[in-house]
C-alpha cells in the first residue's frame, strides 16, 4: 500500500493554471508561491494477501530448516535488537531527504475504523477485513525519477541473515493487482524477522538466502512491485514467536505497548525539507507510472527567469518557511516567506524570479522547522574556477549530430556538461587543435563545452543541441 498522488493547491485548480501561465510567461518576481500537495488516496486492497503471507512464512520456515541442518543458521541471542531507519539516499544524493511516510500500522480491527500507534488515523484498512500491517515509506520528490536513477536505497535496519529473497517481478505498479512483489526477509539475532517489500526489479543485493547483512547495508532500490500505487518501501516486523509487531512506541500500539523497536524512534510527523532546487521550467510530475521531468538546472544566463522550488514532508498548518537568495558576493539579493495553511504529507511550492547579471555562484537558502538547506547554482559561468580567455570556436551552433572545435592551442581535454553540471561527454589527451565531437546521442537542450589546454587553462562555450 502506498499513496496515489493527486495534484492539489491552496486554491482551485483553475486559479493554479492561471497563476502558472503568468509565472511562466512573465520575467519578473511572482508575488505568490504556487504549489500544493499530493494527497493520499488509499487503494482498495491489501499490500499482501493472506495467501501471500502464508507462502512467505512457509518459505522462511523451510529455509531456516535447511540452514540449521547445514549448520549455517545464525546463533540466537536473548538481547532485543533495535532498528535504524531503512531508507537512505545514495552516496551522491543531492536532496536533503528522499522519503516521507504515508501509512502506519492499523491497530483497530474494525472495518472502516482506523487507529495508528499514536491514536491517529494515518493508516488504512479494507472492506474485506485487512488492516495495514506495517509502515509505508514513499520516496519524494520525483519518486519515479529517484527509482529510475537508483537514488533511493533500502538498507538493512539491523544486521541479520537473509531467510527469503524474491526478485524479477514487474516494478511499475500503479494500483491493486495480482502481481508479486520483489522483497527481502531478514532474520535478526533475537529471532525477529523484518520484511522489506516493493523493490525495483533487478536491484536487490547479490547476496542470497543464508548470507549475512550488516546494519545499514544496501538491500535494493525503492520500487513499486506487487500491490502498490507508486514507489515506496513496505516495512513489516515479526517477533521471535512469529507475532506481527508495530515497532513504534505509542499509547495506542496494541501489539507492543510501552516499547519501541527503533534505536532512535522518529516523530509521528517528520516535518522537514526534502529538497530546495532551481528549475529551468516548471516540473512535470506526469501520471503514474511515467517518470517525472524535473527540469532541474544549476546553470543560468544573466537575467534568466529562474524557478525556485522547495519540497517538504509533513507540512504543518500554521508554520512558515523562509527563503533567501544570496548573490556571489554573499549579499542577500531578495528574501521571502511562505506561510502554510494546510497539513500535507508531501508538498511543493515554487516561485519565479529574475536573477541579475551578476555572474558567479549563487545560493538559494530555505529554512523550515529548524532545518536549513542551501542549494547553489551558477549564473553565467559553469563553476567558480578562474578562466583564461583563449581563442576557441565551436560550430555549427545549434548542432544536430556533430560539433567542430577549433582552438589556437593544442587541446588537452574537452568536456561537455548538461544544465545540471553533469558530464555527458569527455575526451582527454587529444593534443590537437581541431576535432569533432558526436552529439547525436544527446537530448535536445542547452550544453556547455569546456575546452582546456595542458596547463589547465580553459574556455567555456555554450551550445544548443537541436
pLDDT at 456: 66
Q: What is the C-alpha separation between 189 and 74, in angstroms, rounded? A: 7
Range of the domain at 313: 7-39+270-379
What's the domain count of the chain? 3
Asked if 287 and 364 sit in the same domain, the reply is yes
Asked if 203 and 276 sit in the same domain, the reply is no
pLDDT at 29: 42
pLDDT at 176: 82
Last residue of a domain, one of 345, 379, 413: 379
DSSP 8-state symbol, 293: B
pLDDT at 170: 96
Q: What is the C-alpha separation between 306 and 24, in angstroms, rounded? A: 10
Asked if 178 and 122 sit in the same domain, the reply is yes
Q: What is the C-alpha separation between 182 and 460, in angstroms, rounded? A: 46
pLDDT at 9: 30
Residue 369 CB neighbour total at 10 angstroms: 17
Q: What is the C-alpha separation between 26 and 305, in angstroms, rounded? A: 8
- At which residue does the C-alpha cell 500537495 appear? 37
Specify if 251 maps to a domain. no
pTM of the model: 0.79
Asked if 95 and 175 sit in the same domain, the reply is yes
pLDDT at 55: 96
The three cell numbers locating residue 279: 528549475
Residue 448 CB neighbour total at 10 angstroms: 20
Cα dihedral 7, 196, 101, 227 sign: positive
pLDDT at 324: 97
Q: What is the C-alpha separation between 322 and 340, in angstroms, rounded? A: 11
What is the phi-psi region of residue 216: left when phi exceeds 0, alpha when psi lies from -120 to 50, beta otherwise?
Answer: left
The CATH number of residue 12's host domain is: 2.60.40.1930
pLDDT along the chain (466 residues), means of 10: 36 27 34 72 72 95 97 92 96 93 95 95 90 95 95 98 98 89 98 98 98 98 95 96 96 92 98 96 89 90 93 97 96 95 95 91 97 95 50 89 90 84 82 88 88 77 87
Specify if 255 maps to a domain. no
Q: What is the C-alpha separation between 218 and 152, in angstroms, rounded? A: 10
3-state secondary structure at position 49: coil
Asked if 340 and 446 sit in the same domain, the reply is no
pLDDT at 177: 84
Amino acid at each position: 500500500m502506498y499513496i496515489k498522488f493527486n495534484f492539489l493547491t491552496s486554491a482551485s485548480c483553475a486559479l493554479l493554471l492561471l497563476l502558472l501561465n503568468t509565472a511562466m510567461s512573465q520575467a519578473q518576481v511572482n508575488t505568490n508561491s504556487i504549489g500544493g500537495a499530493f494527497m493520499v488516496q488509499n487503494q482498495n486492497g491489501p499490500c499482501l494477501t493472506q495467501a501471500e503471507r502464508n507462502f512467505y512464512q512457509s518459505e522462511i520456515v523451510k529455509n531456516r530448516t535447511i540452514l540449521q541442518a547445514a549448520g549455517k543458521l545464525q546463533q540466537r541471542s536473548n538481547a532485543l535488537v533495535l532498528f535504524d531507519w531503512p531508507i537512505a539516499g545514495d552516496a551522491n544524493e543531492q536532496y536533503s531527504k528522499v522519503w516521507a511516510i504515508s501509512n502506519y500500522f492499523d491497530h483497530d480491527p474494525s472495518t472502516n475504523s482506523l487507529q495508528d500507534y499514536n491514536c491517529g488515523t494515518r493508516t488504512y484498512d479494507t472492506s474485506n477485513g485487512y488492516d495495514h500491517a506495517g509502515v509505508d515509506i514513499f520516496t519524494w520528490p520525483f519518486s519515479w525519477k529517484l527509482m529510475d536513477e537508483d537514488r533511493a536505497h533500502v538498507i538493512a535496519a539491523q544486521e541479520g541473515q537473509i531467510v527469503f529473497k524474491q526478485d524479477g517481478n514487474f516494478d511499475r505498479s500503479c494500483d491493486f493487482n495480482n502481481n508479486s512483489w520483489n522483497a527481502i526477509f531478514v532474520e535478526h539475532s533475537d529471532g525477529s524477522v523484518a520484511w522489506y517489500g516493493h523493490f525495483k526489479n533487478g536491484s536487490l543485493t547479490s547476496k542470497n538466502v543464508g548470507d549475512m547483512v550488516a546494519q545499514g547495508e544496501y538491500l535494493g532500490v525503492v520500487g513499486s512491485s506487487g500491490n502498490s500505487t507508486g514507489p515506496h518501501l513496505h516495512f513489516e516486523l515479526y517477533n521471535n514467536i512469529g507475532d506481527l509487531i508495530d515497532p513504534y512506541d505509542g499509547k495506542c500500539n496494541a501489539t507492543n505497548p510501552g516499547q519501541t523497536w527503533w534505536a532512535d524512534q522518529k516523530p509521528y510527523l517528520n516535518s522537514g525539507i526534502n529538497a530546495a532546487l532551481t528549475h529551468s521550467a516548471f516540473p512535470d510530475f506526469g501520471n503514474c507510472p511515467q517518470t517525472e521531468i524535473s527540469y532541474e538546472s544549476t546553470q543560468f544566463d544573466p537575467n534568466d527567469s529562474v524557478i525556485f522550488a522547495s519540497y517538504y514532508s509533513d507540512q504543518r498548518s500554521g508554520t512558515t518557511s523562509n527563503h533567501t537568495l544570496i548573490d556571489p558576493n554573499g549579499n542577500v539579493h531578495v528574501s521571502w516567506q511562505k506561510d502554510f495553511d494546510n497539513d500535507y504529507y508531501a508538498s511543493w511550492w515554487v516561485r519565479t524570479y529574475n536573477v541579475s547579471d551578476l555572474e558567479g555562484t549563487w545560493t538559494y537558502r530555505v529554512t523550515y522547522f529548524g532545518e536549513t538547506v542551501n542549494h547553489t547554482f551558477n549564473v553565467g559561468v559553469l563553476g567558480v574556477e578562474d578562466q583564461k580567455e583563449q581563442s576557441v570556436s565551436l560550430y555549427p551552433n545549434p548542432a544536430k549530430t556533430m560539433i567542430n572545435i577549433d582552438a589556437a592551442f593544442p587541446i588537452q581535454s574537452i568536456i561537455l556538461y548538461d544544465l545540471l553540471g553533469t558530464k555527458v561527454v569527455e575526451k582527454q589527451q587529444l593534443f590537437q587543435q581541431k576535432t569533432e565531437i558526436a552529439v547525436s546521442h544527446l537530448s535536445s537542450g542547452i550544453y556547455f563545452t569546456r575546452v582546456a589546454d595542458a596547463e589547465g587553462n580553459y574556455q567555456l562555450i555554450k551550445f544548443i543541441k537541436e
